[in-house]
Amino acid sequence: MSLSTDLLAILACPEDKGPLYYLEAEEILYNPRLTRSYAVRDGIPVMLVDEATMVDADEHARIMGLIEAEGIAPTFTES
């Protein structure tokens, strides 16, 4: 299930308040600064730091490769 563009435009990491990357096929929102992913369950982002998943260096590289290959934009741009 895809997240709406209106929702994506306001989603930020609950810890560092920065933008995230939505990987629809993986059903995650990813914060590359903290190497942390947040699950999207039944179309609902689970934005709880305690439920986030830390990813290792290999998984980070894989996710960043997907973001680059698919041209995924961050949820917002910092000013």
Residue type (1 letter), 14: P
At residue 78, the pLDDT reads: 78
Q: What is the pTM of this model?
A: 0.94
Domains of the chain: 5-70 (2.20.25.10)
Cα distance from N-terminal residue to C-terminal residue, the chain: 30
CA distances from 78 to 10, 18, 43, 74 (A): 12, 7, 25, 10
Q: What is the pLDDT of residues 19-62, one digit of tens each?
A: 999 999 999 999 999 999 999 999 999 999 999 999 999 999 99
